[in-house]
């Protein structure tokens, strides 16, 4: 650990919901039956043509789900546990997504890097029709404006990603993104011994 | 004899050497092995070649001899032959080309009983003197090491007696080896040397040849044919490093030095290696540099951004503490004290990340050592209690309680593990905190934000043997019950259930008297209305809790009684054919109650509980009674709840599962009463006596109502639950079977009845094939001719006939009955009529999915059909060539049906079988990816996935996969798109499957093979991200992330 950390002792919060969001069901009828009940329904001798697909729109919870388990560049904890991303700070309207991120301290030099990780994740995980804005939550960072500019300028983002070292750090942060809030060990359990 | 043999030997040898065929012929080997030709004869016969002045000829002679030595029986070597051969091969060590053969021969000789210690030393010395290892390739160097390994195994004491000579020459010899295959062997030898030889005076040399490899940075190429992983090497090296305490002096400074340079995997390796070494190096050596070691470990625990490194650092800490304070006798002064003090200072801010790290440090101390652990608890708990009771911020209480629970969990992990040898009742580390612990946990269970840690801590304490008494346990159980009833959070409730289940193992009566009554009390007597979602999710959560708690025999009885009485209350509810919301709610509630019962029964079966049979009479006849009562004609017309087919199916499943558990005698009784009920109309005996019924005759009679016919579910399930040896209540099985077939094809009035009737036929044929033997062929013929191919029949009759036919084939194929293979050919033949009878032929092609169902029919457990070993393989080997042949001969559109049949059959075959047939079936699988029906495409994709999932695939498979990778990826890409493209219909299932399959490629296929298609795949996956279904989008995100990382150096 050669470099001094920006925030060497941030506050850790318990994740709000460890698994993906619970959503409003499509209809009350759909909720009536246990998921296992499907195999007891009558249709199985008939050709099992899929019931027509009702579109489930991408909403802010889904976007949060994509971001929550990204690892902080300084600590082995998720952005959700540091409350850097919050479900309430994500807006989805039509083809636009707006994400506010909250740095753990106002002088955090990692904010740009975190923002870049969010951007790369959404670039890869959201359909191209979306236009994504990533902003620092107003009043939480000294150089809010500069960071916002950096994060939402296509060419600057592109240039940053051409830096091999930077990209590697971003990939490192994104390696855990697929967990989507599941996982995260217990403090007291014995560590693995190989 | 001798003369003949001699002539033979000379001739054989001559022919072989001149034709350069250097493997000895079998006759020669046999003759040497049975003693007719002495081994020395062979040497003599080779004489002129072995001494030839031509290098080439000499090498051939030597190789031939070496090959002979390798294969003949050990008993054929006498002492003299062994010596002569050893001397001969030793003399060839300095010959560059002869070395490999000589080494192999010497390795064989070294294992002989006639090979003595003296020879071992001679061979070892000769090799180290004559062979300049660095000039040879890896394979030859490996042979040298294999020879050493053999010498070390069989003549260890002789080598040991060589003293310094051995170690000096050995360390020189192996110096500079780099190949992982060789290193693995060297490490295993060095471990032996370090442990058994006198290495003290040569420890520097040993250190050099061992620690020069540390830390290992090897990274095997993907699909490495040698299969050596970095972890294999690390573990082997670690065992050497930790083999000798003499290493300590040099190793510890090296460790300290590596702290500043190691990162990532090497840092993790460093931590784990230290953890392994400390106990061996001993308290003196480790204690000297303890403070510095702790500094390095501490940095990784406090600041590392990688959890695996953090975990490794914690095990290094644990090892450090265990080494310094091994028993309760050591006073935890010095380092332990400092560590604890610092951790507690940091914990003044419990919500911070370092607070969490400090808790982990304290927990490691508790696990590591009885003295340091006890001291840590005695210092930490009072401070944490104080912080909990007067927190600087209310939000701090949750991390504080988490810290307390983490310490309790670590205490529990040592006190409840017998192998740790530590006990709470001897150490009494928690004894002083009995009261305050109960207080904070009780408080935690009561407070919404504190429940998670409170549950964890409570369960940990219950699990520490002999700590809490019954009253304390009851106290926390009550607290947990309240959460179960009132907390809506799924996670928390699930944690409570896990906790209660754990508690019930040692305190089942507490759960029975405190928890169960409360849960049943909160189950409603009638179903909540459709809009009352909360009430429904509440009863669901209670049932879920019950289904996990009541697995234990002592709690199961209560469950059976309570569920029965709820069902009795619900059963008379009338239902009509028009589905109303209220009716659906009742059916769903009933279904959930029954499913709870079934789930518990199945879980008990998994746990191999024997008490299930005891409850047969309390469950099965009662449920059957409810179904019968609902089905019989009623005075006012109309039906009651149990006439619902979904409930009938579930009752059937319970009946089948329970019947199967009975012994044959009880089964015979059960089938007798069920048979009488259905064939003779004597229903009363089948059902529980309390049920009042008006007999109306057999439910299968002509003129029975559709609801009576639905009772086939009960009948069929009983038949399916029978064992093959249970006596049947009728004498002519063939007659009986024909009757059932007739009912299935001509009488059954709904797909529901058809399904159960077909299952009954399958079970009957599958288990009674011997009794049916003579008539089966005739029955199949009848069905085929009269019902299936007669085009004057109604289509539905032909379709049902075909289903009956295929189910019989399946039942026979499962027991590898020859008739199955003859019968299935007819179905394949009829596929050629595609242009005359298209609708029916298409139905037949899709019908192969019946055969693909195999034993399980989609369920993992609970199928009671008999299946012989390799039955799927046999059927596949019969059908596949026919389909391939027919497909080849067909032209144009008529080929399609064979592809449909092929892909419908695919789920039958296990992936191992696919792998061996891969060259033949891969083209068909790839073509199947273009079939219009998503179900068949899903089959093809699932098979492809199972092929790609294979661990350690052979070089051949790897090659085929790489050759076809681009085609596979392009084929799959067509199925991931949410909009149907071309003729391809789509479904959520096929899109998910295709995405899951595509996600495997980056792990299996080397990047250079697919880099040309990467951008296309990413573009297609970009469209898949916009899938209408959330669950598919999830797969798409996962898959696309993998493809983005593909080929990028990380």
B121-146 tens-digit pLDDT: 999 999 999 998 888 999 999 999 99
Verify that B896 and B961 share a domain, yes or no.
Answer: no
**What is the predicted pLDDT for the residue at A2?**
44
Contact B383, B342 (CB under 8 A): no
Chain B 211-270, CB below 8 Å of chain A: which residues?
231, 234-235, 260
Note whether residue B1029 is domain-resident: yes
Tokens of A54: 């009702």
Q: Report pLDDT for A27.
A: 53
Question: B975: left (phi > 0), else alpha (psi -120 to 50), else beta?
Answer: alpha
Summarize the confidence of residues A56-69 as an average pLDDT. 91
**pLDDT surpassing 70 at residue A41:** no
Same domain, B832 and B956: no
Please state at what angle helix B26-33 crosses helix B2-19, rounded to 10 degrees.
140
**Any chain A CB within 8 A of the CB of B535?**
no
The proportion of chain B whose per-residue pLDDT surpasses 90, expressed as a percent, equals 65
Give the residue on B whose Cα is nearest the Cα of A165: B1050
Task: Say if B1040 is an interface residue toward chain A (CB within 8 Å).
Answer: yes
Q: Which residues of B touch A128 (CB under 8 A)?
A: 1022, 1025
Instruction: Classify residue B81 by its DSSP letter.
Output: H
From the CB of residue B578, how many other CB atoms can be counted at a distance below 10 Å?
A: 6
In this prediction, residue B346 has a pLDDT band, given cuts at 50, 70 and 90, of very high
- Identify any residues that bridge with A100 across adjacent strands, giving them in sequence order: A135
Give the HSE-up count for residue B619: Cα atoms under 13 Å, Cβ half-sphere.
29
Q: Do you find a cis peptide bond into B215, omega within 30 degrees of 0?
A: yes
Q: Which residues in A lie closer than 8 A to residue B1033 (C-beta atoms)?
A: 58, 62
Within a domain: A154: yes
Q: What percent of chain B has pLDDT over 70?
A: 97
Please answer yes or no on whether B353 and A44 come within 8 Å at the CB atom. no
DSSP strand pairing (A96-101 vs A131-136): parallel
| Strand order through the sheet with A96-101 | A90-93, A96-101, A131-136
Would you say residue B3 has pLDDT above 90?
Answer: no
Q: Pick A40's closest partner by Cβ from B275, B352, B650.
A: B650
Cβ contact B409–A171 (<8 Å): no
Label residue B753 exposed, middle or buried (CB < 10 Å: 0-12, 13-18, 19+).
buried
pLDDT in the model for residue B1: 43
Longest dimension (CA), chain A: 66
Q: Identify all chain A residues contacting B1045, using CB atoms and an 8 Å cutoff.
A: 171
Domain with B937, as residue range(s), is 910-1050
A34 to B645: CB separation less than 8 angstroms, yes or no: no
Residue B327: name the closest of B373, B378, B394 by CA: B373
- The strand pairing partners of A11, in sequence order, are B352
**Residue B888, Cβ neighbours under 10 Å: how many?**
10
Minimal C-alpha gap between A167 and chain B (Å): 9
Nearest to B384 by CA among B344, B423, B444: B344
Let me know if residue A137 belongs to a domain: yes
Same domain, B519 and B570: yes
Cα atoms found within 13 Å of the Cα of residue B732, Cβ hemisphere only: 7
**pLDDT band of A20, cuts 50, 70, 90:** very low
Strand intervals (E) in B470-589: 574-575
Could you tell me if B376 lies within 8 Å of chain A, comparing CB atoms? Answer: no
Cβ-defined contact of B275 to A193 (cutoff 8 Å): yes
Length of chain B: 1050
* CB B199 within 8 Å of CB B167: yes
In chain A, residues with a C-beta closer than 8 Å to the C-beta of B355 are: 9, 12
Longest CA span, chain B: 113
Pull the structure tokens for residue A121.
Answer: 């994740």
Mean pLDDT throughout A134-154? 90
Which residues in chain B are contacts of A50 at CB distance < 8 A? 934, 987-989
Which of A191, A192, A193 should be substituted to probe chain B, the one whose Cβ sees the most B Cβ atoms within 10 Å? A191
Tell me whether residue B920 is in a domain. yes
Sort out which chain A residues have CB atoms less than 8 A from B349's CB and list them: 9
Tell me if A171 and B1040 make a contact (CB, 8 A cut-off). Answer: no
Phi-psi region of B578 (alpha: psi -120 to 50; beta: other; left: phi over 0): beta
**pLDDT confidence of residue B857:** 62
Which residues lie closer than 8 Å to B956 by C-beta, 6 or more apart? B918
**Domain end marker among B594, B611, B628:** B611
User: Is A45 a domain residue?
Assistant: no
Termini Cα distance of chain A: 23
Interface of B with A in 315-334 (CB under 8 A): 315, 318
* H or E element that contains A96: strand A96-101
Q: Flag whether A191 is in a domain.
A: no
What's the pLDDT tens digit per position in A168-191?
889 989 988 888 876 543 333 333
Domain-embedded: residue A117: yes
Contacts of B1049 in chain A (CB under 8 A): 168
pLDDT (tens digit per residue) in B760-817: 999 999 999 998 988 999 999 999 999 999 989 999 999 999 999 999 999 999 999 9
Which run of H or E residues covers position B968? helix B955-976
Within its chain, how far is the Cα of B867 from the centroid?
22
Enumerate the residues of chain A whose CB falls inside 8 A of the CB of residue B530: 28-29, 32
More confident residue, B4 or A8: A8
User: How many domains is chain B partitioned into structurally?
Assistant: 3
What CATH number does residue A140 fall under?
A: 3.30.300.130
With an 8 Å Cβ cutoff, are A41 and B299 in contact?
Answer: no
Nearest to A190 among B308, B413, B533 (CB): B413
Question: Are B932 and B900 members of one domain?
Answer: no
Q: What is the CATH number of the domain that holds B935?
A: 1.25.10.10
B494: which residues sit within 8 A by CB, 6+ positions away?
Answer: none
Residue with tokens 């972890």: B231
Torsion of CA B251, B252, B255, B257, to 10 degrees: -100
Find residues 583-602 of chain B whose CB sits inside 8 Å of chain A.
584-585, 588, 591-592, 595
How far is it, in rounded angstroms, from Cα B518 to Cα B513?
9
Top-confidence residue, B693 or B712: B712
Which of A187, A189, A192, A193 best probes binding to B when mutated, by most B CB atoms within 10 angstroms?
A: A187
Q: In whole angstroms, give the CA distance from residue B343 to residue B338.
A: 9
Picking from B300, B650, B755, the nearest residue to A44 by CB comes out as B755
Closest CA to B624 of B705, B697, B687: B687
Confirm whether B955 is domain-assigned. yes
Tokens of B652: 């059937």
pLDDT at B466 over 80: yes
Q: Could you count the other beta carbons within 10 Å of the beta carbon of residue B963?
A: 12
Task: Name the nearest CA neighbour of B292 among B263, B260, B327.
Answer: B260
- Within-domain flag for A187: no
Residues B889 and B927 in one domain: no
Option in B272, B413, B1050 nearest A194 (CB)? B272
Residue among A19, A124, A188 whose CB faces B1044 most closely: A124
CB B461 within 8 A of CB B506: no
- In this structure, chain A runs to a length of 194
Cβ proximity of B348 and B302 under 8 Å: no
* Gyration radius (Cα) of chain B, Å: 38
What kind and span of H or E run contains B359? helix B353-368
Task: At B557, list the tokens.
Answer: 């009885």
CB nearest to A168's CB, from B1037, B1041, B1050: B1050
Across the interface, which of A9, A45, A73 has its CB nearest the CB of B354? Answer: A9
B1045 and A171 within 8 Å at the Cβ level: the answer is yes
Does the structure show a pLDDT above 70 at B1020? yes
From the list A11, A17, A54, which residue is nearest B352 (CB)? A11
- Within a domain: A5: no
Give the count of domains, chain A: 1
Residues B914 and B1050 in one domain: yes
Asked whether residue B810 is domain-assigned, the answer is yes
CB atoms within 10 A of CB B619: 20
B934 in the same domain as B863: no
Nearest CA in chain A to B594: A37
The residues with which B574 forms a beta bridge, in sequence order, are B640
Task: Please report residues of A whose CB lies closer than 8 A to that of B491.
Answer: 17-19
Q: Are residues B916 and B969 in the same domain?
A: yes
Same domain, B915 and B1044: yes
For chains A and B, what is the number of CB pairs under 8 angstroms?
182
Q: Tell me the C-alpha distance between B134 and B144, whole Å.
A: 12
Encoded tokens for A173 = 């942060």
Same domain? For B829 and B947 the reply is: no
Min distance A156 CA to chain B CA atoms (Å): 20
Q: Is B982 exposed, middle or buried (0-12, 13-18, 19+ CB in 10 A)?
A: exposed
Question: Which of B402, B649, B1041 is nearest residue A40 as measured by Cβ atoms?
Answer: B649
Q: Specify whether the CB–CB gap between B997 and B972 falls below 8 A.
A: yes
Average pLDDT over residues B323-352: 91
Taking CB atoms and an 8 Å limit, are A124 and B751 in contact across chains?
no
Domain end call among B904, B939, B963: B904
Q: Determine which of A179-183, B396-400, B777-781, B990-994 has the lowest per-residue pLDDT on average.
A: A179-183
Q: Do B584 and A29 touch (CB under 8 A)?
A: yes
Which chain A residues have a beta carbon less than 8 Å from that of B413? 188-190
Indicate the average pLDDT of chain B.
Answer: 90
List of chain A residues whose C-beta atoms are within 8 Å of the C-beta of residue B359: 187-188
Report helix, strand or coil for B242: coil
Nearest to B999 by CA among B970, B974, B1036, B964: B1036
Gap from B693 CA to chain A (nearest CA, Å): 27
**DSSP of B1029-1042:** SHHHHHHHHHHHHH
Element of type H or E holding A97: strand A96-101
What confidence category does residue B858 fall into, taking pLDDT thresholds of 50, 70 and 90?
Answer: low
pLDDT of residue B531: 86
Same domain, B844 and B950: no
Place of tokens 């947990």: B480
Interface of B with A in 878-897 (CB under 8 A): none
| CB nearest B315 (choices: A32, A124, A193) | A193
Residue B538 and residue B517 share a domain: yes
Average pLDDT over residues B379-396: 93
Smallest Cβ–Cβ distance between A188 and the set B363, B588, B595 belongs to B363
Q: In which domain, by residue range, is A128 found?
A: 60-178
Which among B611, B635, B661 is the end of a domain? B611
Asked if residue A48 is part of any domain, the answer here is no
Q: What is the CA radius of gyration of chain A?
A: 20
């Amino acid at each position: 650990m050669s470099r001094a950390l920006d925030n060497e002792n941030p506050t850790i919060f318990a994740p709000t919901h460890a698994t993906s969001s619970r959503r409003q069901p499509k209809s009350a009828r759909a909720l009536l039956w246990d998921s296992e009940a499907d195999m007891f329904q009558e249709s199985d001798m008939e050709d099992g043509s899929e019931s027509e697909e009702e579109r489930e729109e991408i909403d802010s919870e889904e976007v949060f789900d994509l971001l929550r388990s990204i690892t902080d560049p300084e600590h082995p904890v998720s952005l959700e546990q540091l409350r850097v991303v919050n479900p309430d700070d994500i807006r989805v309207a039509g083809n636009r997504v707006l994400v506010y991120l909250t740095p753990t301290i106002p002088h955090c030099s990692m904010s740009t890097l975190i923002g870049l990780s969010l951007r790369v994740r959404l670039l890869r995980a959201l359909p191209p029709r979306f236009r994504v804005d990533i902003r620092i939550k107003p009043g939480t960072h000294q150089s809010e404006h500069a960071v916002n500019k950096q994060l939402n300028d296509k060419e600057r983002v592109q240039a940053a990603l051409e830096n091999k070292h930077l990209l590697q750090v971003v990939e490192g942060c994104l390696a855990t993104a697929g967990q989507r809030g599941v996982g995260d060990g217990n403090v007291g359990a014995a560590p693995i011994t190989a | 004899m001798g003369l003949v043999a001699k002539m033979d030997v000379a001739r054989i040898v001559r022919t072989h050497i001149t034709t350069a065929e250097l493997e000895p012929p079998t006759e020669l080997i046999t003759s040497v092995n049975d003693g007719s030709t002495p081994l020395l004869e062979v040497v003599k016969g080779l004489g002129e070649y072995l001494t030839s002045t031509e290098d080439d000829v000499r090498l051939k002679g030597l190789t031939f001899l070496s090959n002979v030595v390798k294969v003949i029986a050990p008993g054929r070597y006498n002492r003299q032959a062994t010596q002569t051969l050893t001397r001969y091969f030793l003399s060839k060590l300095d010959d560059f080309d002869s070395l490999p053969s000589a080494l192999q021969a010497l390795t064989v000789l070294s294992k002989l009983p006639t090979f003595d210690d003296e020879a071992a030393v001679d061979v070892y010395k000769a090799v180290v003197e004559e062979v300049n290892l660095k000039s040879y390739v890896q394979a030859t160097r490996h042979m040298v090491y294999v020879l050493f390994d053999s010498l070390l195994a069989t003549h260890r004491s002789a080598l040991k007696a060589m003293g310094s000579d051995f170690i000096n020459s050995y360390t020189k010899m192996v110096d500079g080896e780099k190949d992982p295959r060789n290193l693995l062997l060297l490490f295993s030898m060095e471990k032996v040397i370090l442990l058994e030889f006198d290495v003290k005076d040569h420890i520097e040399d040993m250190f050099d040849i061992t620690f020069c490899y540390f830390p290992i940075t090897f990274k095997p190429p993907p699909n490495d044919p040698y299969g050596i992983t970095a972890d294999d090497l690390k573990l082997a090296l670690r065992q050497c490093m930790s083999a000798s305490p003499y290493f300590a002096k040099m190793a510890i400074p090296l460790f300290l030095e590596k702290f500043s340079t190691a990162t990532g995997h090497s840092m993790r390796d460093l931590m784990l290696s230290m953890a392994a070494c400390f106990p061996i190096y001993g308290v003196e050596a480790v204690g000297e540099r303890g403070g510095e070691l702790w500094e390095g470990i501490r940095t990784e625990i406090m600041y590392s951004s990688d959890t695996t490194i953090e975990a490794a650092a914690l095990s290094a800490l644990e090892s450090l503490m265990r080494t310094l304070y091994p028993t309760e006798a050591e006073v935890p002064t010095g380092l332990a004290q400092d560590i604890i003090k610092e951790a507690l200072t940091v914990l003044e801010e419990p919500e911070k990340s370092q607070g969490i790290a400090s808790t982990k440090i304290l927990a490691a101390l508790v696990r590591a050592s009885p003295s340091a652990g006890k001291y840590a608890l005695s210092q930490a708990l009072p401070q944490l209690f104080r912080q909990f009771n007067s927190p600087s911020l209310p939000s701090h209480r949750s991390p504080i309680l988490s810290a307390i629970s983490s310490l309790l969990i670590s205490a529990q992990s040592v006190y409840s593990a017998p192998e740790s040898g530590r006990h709470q009742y001897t150490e009494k580390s928690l004894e002083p905190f009995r009261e305050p612990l109960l207080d904070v946990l009780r408080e935690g269970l009561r407070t919404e934000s504190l429940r998670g840690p409170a549950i964890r801590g409570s369960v940990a304490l219950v699990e520490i043997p002999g700590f809490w008494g019954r009253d304390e346990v009851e106290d926390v159980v009550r607290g947990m019950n309240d959460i179960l009833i009132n907390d809506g959070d799924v996670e928390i409730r699930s944690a409570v259930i896990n906790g209660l289940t754990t508690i019930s193992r040692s305190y089942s009566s507490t759960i029975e008297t405190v928890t169960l009554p409360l849960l049943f009390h909160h189950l409603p007597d009638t179903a909540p209305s459709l809009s009352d979602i909360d009430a429904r999710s509440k009863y669901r959560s209670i049932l879920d809790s019950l289904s996990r708690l009541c697995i234990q025999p002592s709690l199961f009885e209560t469950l059976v009684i309570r569920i029965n009485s709820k069902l009795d209350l619900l059963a008379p509810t009338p239902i009509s054919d028009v589905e109303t919301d209220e009716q659906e709610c009742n059916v769903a509630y009933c279904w959930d109650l029954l499913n709870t019962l079934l789930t518990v029964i199945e879980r008990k079966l998994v746990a191999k509980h024997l008490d299930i049979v005891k409850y047969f009479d309390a469950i099965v006849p009662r449920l059957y009674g409810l179904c019968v009562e609902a089905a019989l004609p009623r005075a006012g017309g109309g039906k009651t709840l149990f006439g619902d087919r979904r409930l009938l199916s579930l009752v059937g499943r319970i009946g089948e599962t329970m019947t199967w558990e009975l012994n044959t005698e009880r089964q015979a009784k059960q089938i007798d009463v069920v048979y009488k009920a259905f064939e003779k109309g004597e229903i009363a005996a089948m059902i529980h006596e309390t049920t009042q019924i008006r007999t109306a005759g057999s439910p299968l009679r002509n003129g029975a109502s559709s609801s009576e016919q639905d009772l086939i579910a009960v009948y069929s399930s009983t038949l399916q639950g029978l064992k093959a040896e249970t006596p049947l209540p009728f004498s002519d099985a063939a007659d009986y079977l024909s009757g059932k077939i007739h009912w299935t094809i001509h009488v059954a009035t709904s797909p529901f009845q058809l399904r159960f009737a077909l299952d009954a036929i399958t079970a009957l044929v599958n288990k009674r094939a011997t009794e049916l033997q003579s008539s089966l062929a005739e029955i199949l013929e009848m069905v085929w001719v009269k019902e299936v191919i007669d085009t004057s029949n109604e289509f539905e009759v032909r379709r049902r006939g075909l289903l009956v036919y295929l189910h019989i084939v399946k039942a026979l194929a499962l027991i590898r009955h020859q008739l199955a293979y003859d019968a299935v050919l007819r179905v394949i033949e009829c596929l050629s009529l595609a242009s005359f009878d298209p609708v029916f032929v298409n139905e037949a092609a899709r019908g192969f999915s019946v055969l693909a169902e195999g034993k399980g029919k989609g369920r993992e457990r609970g199928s009671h059909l008999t299946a012989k070993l390799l039955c799927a393989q046999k059927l596949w080997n019969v059908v596949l060539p026919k389909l391939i042949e027919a497909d080849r001969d067909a032209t144009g559109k008529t080929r399609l049906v064979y592809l449909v049949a092929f892909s419908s059959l695919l789920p039958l075959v296990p992936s191992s079988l696919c792998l061996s047939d891969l060259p033949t079936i891969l083209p068909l699988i790839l073509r199947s990816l273009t079939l219009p029906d998503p179900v068949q495409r899903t089959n093809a994709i699932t098979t492809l996935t199972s092929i790609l999932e294979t661990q350690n695939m052979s070089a051949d498979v790897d090659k085929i996969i790489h050759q076809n990778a681009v085609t596979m990826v392009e084929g799959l890409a067509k199925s991931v798109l949410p909009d149907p493209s071309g003729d391809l219909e789509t479904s959520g299932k096929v899109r998910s499957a295709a995405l899951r399959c595509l996600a495997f490629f980056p792990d299996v296929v080397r990047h250079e093979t697919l880099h040309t298609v990467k951008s296309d795949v990413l573009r297609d996956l970009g469209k898949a991200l916009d899938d209408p279904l959330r669950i598919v989008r999830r797969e798409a995100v996962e898959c696309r992330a993998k493809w983005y990382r593909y080929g990028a150096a990380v």
